[in-house]
Amino acid sequence: MRELKRRECNFVMLSSGDSWDGVLLTSPEEVSDGDIPAMEENIEIAVERAIQASRGFDTAVQLVFGIDPGPRPGIAWLADGIVVGSAQLEGVEIVADHVVALSTAFSHIRMSVKVGDGAPLIRDRIINQLILRGIETLEVSEHRTSSGSRSKAHINAATRIALVSGNKVSQIRTLRPTDGDLREVQRQSRIFSTGEITIPTDLARMVACGELSMEEAVKRA
């Protein structure tokens, strides 16, 4: 219900045995033909599939994702040039999995992902994820993509990134955290550990490159 409200969707709740002429989101155990299974770990994907099914819009020639890189990346997705959804993700490491999951809401011929060129370290981590999954990936200049509501800045930027052209990226990027990146990770480690621990530089580098989670690094420290 929270996700449906967030997406500003009209919906009704049904009791067992109620009839319904529309799109039904239900548990995997209760799914019949045409229903959409929903579980806690795939709520956003299930709602996206339901929205597209309700519009009768579940087929596209070209599916394009825009990613605004940052600690909480913005993501927007377009089907044949029409913006059909957007979200802000809670972490960098889930971007590629999220793209793949969202792409299952549409039958499509081609798919590509455009990544903004800001936040270089996070950008390159995301690009590497996508290339390793075999997804066509392009890097897009973020010049003039960040206007709009501050509260939805990353989502607005992701939408603009998806709409502009970019340069195809084919090779894995070498990750090179700057001193500033490492200091920021160490600052976050103090917050995570409520001031008890500042992780050393070698662990900070592993966290910055996505090789360790902050929780794992603090435990090692």
Query: Under a CB-based contact definition with an 8 Å cutoff, are residues 175 and 124 in contact?
Result: yes
Q: Domain of 97: which CATH number?
A: 3.30.420.40
Write the CA distances from 206 to 69, 175, 210, 212, integer angstroms: 19, 10, 6, 6
User: 81 and 143: one domain?
Assistant: yes
Residues 193 and 104 in one domain: no
Within this chain, do residues 148 and 75 fall inside the same structural domain, yes or no? yes
pLDDT at 22 over 70: yes
Do 43 and 66 fall into the same domain?
no
Per residue in 35-88, pLDDT (tens digit) is 888 887 778 778 877 887 787 766 778 999 999 999 999 999 988 888 888 888
64 and 48 housed in the same domain: no
Domain closes at, from 41, 56, 71? 56
Same domain, 68 and 160: yes
Structural domain for 155, as ranges: 60-174
What is the biggest distance separating any 2 CA atoms in the chain, rounded to whole angstroms? 61
Reported as a single tens digit per residue, the pLDDT across 207-216 is 999 999 999 9
Considering the domain architecture, whether residues 66 and 133 belong to the same structural domain is answered as yes
Name the domain count of the chain.
3
